[in-house]
Amino acid sequence: MAENAAKRLKTSEGGAGVRIGTHNGHFHADEALAVYMLRLLPTYTDSELVRTRDPALLETCHTVVDVGGEYDAARNRYDHHQRTFDTVFPGRETKLSSAGLVYLHFGRSIIARQTQKPEDSAEVGLLWNKIYESFVEAMDAHDNGISKYDSAKLEEAGIEKRFSSAGFTLGAMVSRLNPNWNDARPADRAEAQAWEDEKFVKASERLGDEFSRTLNFYANAWLPARTVVEEAYAKRMQFDPEGRIMVFEGQSVPWKDHLYTLEEEEQTDKKVLYVLYAEKQTPDAAWRIQAVPETENSFQSRKPLPEPWRGARDSQLDEISGVPGGIFVHASGFIGGNKTFDGVKALADKACAF
Q: Kindly report, residue by residue over 140-167, the tens digit of the pLDDT.
A: 999 998 888 778 887 888 888 777 777 7
DSSP calls for 274-338: EEEEESSSSTT--EEEEEPBSSTT-S-BSSPSPGGGTT-BHHHHHHHHS-TTEEEE-TTSSEEEE
Give backbone dihedrals phi and psi of 145, rounded to 5 degrees, phi first. Answer: 70, 35
Identify the pLDDT of residue 205: 96
3-class secondary structure, 116: coil
276 contact partners, CB below 8 Å, separation of at least 6:
239, 245, 246, 247, 248, 287, 288, 289, 290, 341, 344, 345, 348
Cα distance between residue 289 and residue 338, in whole Å: 8
Q: Indicate the Cα dihedral angle 72, 75, 81, 83, nearest 10°.
A: -40
N- to C-terminal Cα separation, the chain:
76
Cα distance between residue 50 and residue 298, in whole Å: 43
Q: Mean pLDDT for each consecutive 10-residue tract of the chain (354 residues)?
A: 36 62 96 98 96 96 97 97 96 97 98 96 95 96 87 82 78 92 94 96 96 96 93 96 95 91 89 96 94 88 97 97 97 96 98 94
- Max CA distance (Å), the chain: 82
Cα distance between residue 190 and residue 270, in whole Å: 65
| Helix (H) / strand (E) containing 55 | helix 55-59
Are 200 and 32 spatial neighbours (Cβ–Cβ below 8 Å)? yes
Identify the pLDDT of residue 159: 85
Q: What is the CA radius of gyration of the chain?
A: 26
Identify the pLDDT of residue 70: 97
Residue (of 68, 327, 111, 137) closest to 216 by Cα position = 111
Identify the pLDDT of residue 252: 87
- The total of other beta-carbon atoms located within 10 Å of residue 144's CB is 16
Are 148 and 33 spatial neighbours (Cβ–Cβ below 8 Å)? no
Cα distance between residue 122 and residue 111, in whole Å: 12
Identify the pLDDT of residue 16: 58
Are 214 and 188 spatial neighbours (Cβ–Cβ below 8 Å)? no
Model confidence, pTM: 0.79
pLDDT tens digits along 256-307: 999 999 999 998 888 999 999 999 989 899 999 999 999 877 889 999 999 9
Are 271 and 294 spatial neighbours (Cβ–Cβ below 8 Å)? no
HEC-encoded secondary structure of 203-246 = HHHHHHHHHHHHHHHHHHHHHHHHHHHHHHHHCHHHCCCCCCEE
How far from 268 is each of 65, 175, 235, 238, 259, CA to CA, in Å? 44, 44, 15, 17, 12
